[in-house]
């Protein structure tokens, strides 16, 4: 079993599933339910939550990392960091100072929200001897993985793409999802020599591979959708209703609700259990297999692109 430690039991760490007992949308439930993982301990500052986790699940929940015996920490295989932006970096720093070497670290997105935070992240990261991945969880969805594998078949080879990303809320916590969605499909090599311009809440980004329009809606909710156009197909992903639709010439694929069906294939898309897919990828990573989750260089590329977009805001 993979000995695991969860740091941060907020919404995505623990809370979301408490409102929906049948779901697996948090790190806690995914780790607790997956018998390949042994959740050794959790860390959270909320005293009521500490007691609830201890009493209901029999798992220790302490206020800080320093309260866990160092011998236990040095035998942890996986550390999950699911706290606020600044404290994530502080925790990463604490891990390096303790000399911990887990096989893997799962780090909640985004990588940073400022240049200062990014520098602090890399000051810690350069000392790590662990694989680190970011939880842009759509990368792990079977629907997304199918699309990534078949992207050129669907859109056509060497197609100049037109892309539209609509988002609202914070750039690093909302727009980053849309950009990572596109980055995972195209690959980092196609995000070079970008030309960026802006007008009001619209940004235009283009190179030889794609022509991207980003449009921001001024509402205080972090949501996004992505639409990709080629001469052969239209692909749309909607965060609001977790719906992925692919329209090809003469064919229609509709991915809606908890599952979708395709001709000659049947794949599950279950938004209510997406964290299970994340831990399937982490299991692969720890066992030296291919992992679909976002790497550090990819998260850095997304951060830098957002900072450039901010610099062109009019």
pLDDT of residue 10: 93
Q: What six digits make up the tokens of 15?
A: 């809370």
Residue 251: is its pLDDT beyond 80? no
Cβ-contact 206, 158 below 8 angstroms: no
Q: Are residues 304 and 200 in the same domain?
A: yes
Convert the pLDDT of each residue in 302-312 to its tens digit: 999 999 988 87
For the domain that residue 122 is a member of, what is the CATH number?
Answer: 3.40.50.720
Q: Judge if 146 and 285 occupy the same domain.
A: yes
Look at residues 135, 168, 189 and tell me which one is the last residue of a structural domain: 135
Q: Shortest CA distance to 271 belongs to which of 256, 258, 253?
A: 258
Count up the domains in the chain and report the number.
Answer: 2
User: What is the pLDDT, as a whole number, of residue 249?
Assistant: 62
152 shares a domain with 244: yes
The pLDDT of residue 78 is 98
Residue 100 lies in domain: 2-135
pLDDT-wise least confident of 18-22, 101-105, 129-133, 208-212: 18-22
Is residue 99 domain-shared with residue 142, that is, in the same domain?
no
Instruction: Look at residue 69 in the predicted model and tell me its pLDDT.
Output: 95
Mind spelling out the 3-state secondary structure of 10-32? CHHHHHHHHHCCCCCCCHHHHHH
> Residue 219: which pLDDT band, with cuts at 50, 70 and 90?
confident
Asked if 152 and 94 sit in the same domain, the reply is no
Q: Are residues 173 and 222 in the same domain?
A: yes
- pLDDT for 94 equals 95
Give pTM, 2 decimals: 0.91
pLDDT at 169 over 80: yes
pLDDT in tens, 31-75: 999 999 999 999 999 999 999 999 999 999 999 999 999 999 999
Q: What pLDDT shows up at residue 268?
A: 40
Asked whether residue 263 carries a pLDDT value surpassing 80, the answer given is no
287 shares its domain with 164: yes
Which of the four pLDDT bands, split at 50, 70 and 90, describes residue 266? Answer: very low
Q: Of 81, 115, 135, which one is at a domain's C-terminal end?
A: 135
Residue 158: pLDDT band with limits 50, 70, 90: confident
Place of tokens 């007992």: 21
Check whether residue 165 and residue 76 sit in a common domain: no
Say if residues 80 and 106 touch (Cβ distance below 8 Å): yes
- Among 83, 104, 135, which residue terminates a domain? 135
Provide the 10 A C-beta neighbour count for residue 187.
Answer: 12
Same domain? For 159 and 79 the reply is no
Mean pLDDT (whole number) for 281-298 = 97
Do 123 and 61 lie in one domain? The reply is yes
Q: In this structure, are residues 228 and 178 in contact, taking their beta carbons and an 8 Å threshold?
A: no
DSSP state, residue 159:
P
CATH at residue 225? 3.30.360.10
pLDDT of 221? 79
Helix, strand and coil in the chain, % to nearest 5: 40, 30, 30
Residue range 10-28: average pLDDT?
A: 91
Kindly state whether residues 127 and 164 are assigned to the same domain.
no
Q: How far is CA 78 from CA 36, 211, 256, in A?
A: 12, 39, 33
Is pLDDT at 259 greater than 50 in this prediction? no
Q: Is the pLDDT of residue 141 over 50?
A: yes
- Do 121 and 171 belong together in one domain? no
């Amino acid at each position: 079993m993979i000995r695991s430690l969860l740091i941060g039991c907020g919404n995505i760490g623990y809370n979301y599933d408490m409102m929906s007992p049948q779901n697996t949308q948090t790190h806690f439930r995914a780790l607790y339910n997956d018998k390949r993982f042994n959740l050794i301990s959790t860390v959270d500052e909320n005293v009521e939550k500490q007691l609830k986790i201890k009493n209901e699940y029999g798992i220790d929940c302490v206020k800080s990392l320093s309260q866990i015996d160092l011998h236990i920490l040095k035998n942890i295989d996986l550390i999950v960091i699911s706290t606020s932006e600044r404290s994530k970096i502080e925790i990463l720093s604490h891990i390096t100072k303790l000399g911990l070497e887990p096989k893997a670290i799962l780090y909640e997105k985004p990588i940073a929200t400022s240049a200062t935070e990014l520098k602090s992240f890399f000051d810690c990261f350069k000392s790590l001897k662990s694989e680190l991945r970011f939880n842009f969880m759509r990368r792990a969805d079977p629907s997304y993985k199918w699309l990534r594998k078949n992207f050129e078949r669907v859109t056509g080879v060497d197609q100049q793409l037109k892309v539209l990303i609509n988002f609202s809320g914070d750039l690093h916590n909302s727009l980053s999802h849309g950009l990572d969605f596109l980055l995972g499909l195209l690959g980092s090599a196609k995000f070079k020599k970008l030309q960026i311009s802006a007008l009001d809440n619209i940004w235009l980004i283009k190179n030889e591979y794609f022509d991207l329009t980003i449009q921001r809606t001024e509402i205080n909710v972090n949501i996004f959708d992505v639409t990709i156009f080629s001469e052969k197909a239209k692909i749309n992903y909607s965060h609001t209703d977790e719906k992925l639709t692919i329209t090809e010439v003469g064919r229609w694929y509709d991915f809606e609700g908890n599952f979708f069906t395709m001709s000659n294939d049947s794949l599950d898309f279950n938004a209510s259990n997406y964290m299970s897919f994340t831990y399937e990828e982490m299991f692969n990573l720890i066992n030296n297999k291919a992992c679909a989750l976002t790497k550090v260089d990819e998260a850095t590329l997304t951060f830098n692109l957002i900072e450039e977009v901010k610099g062109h805001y009019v």
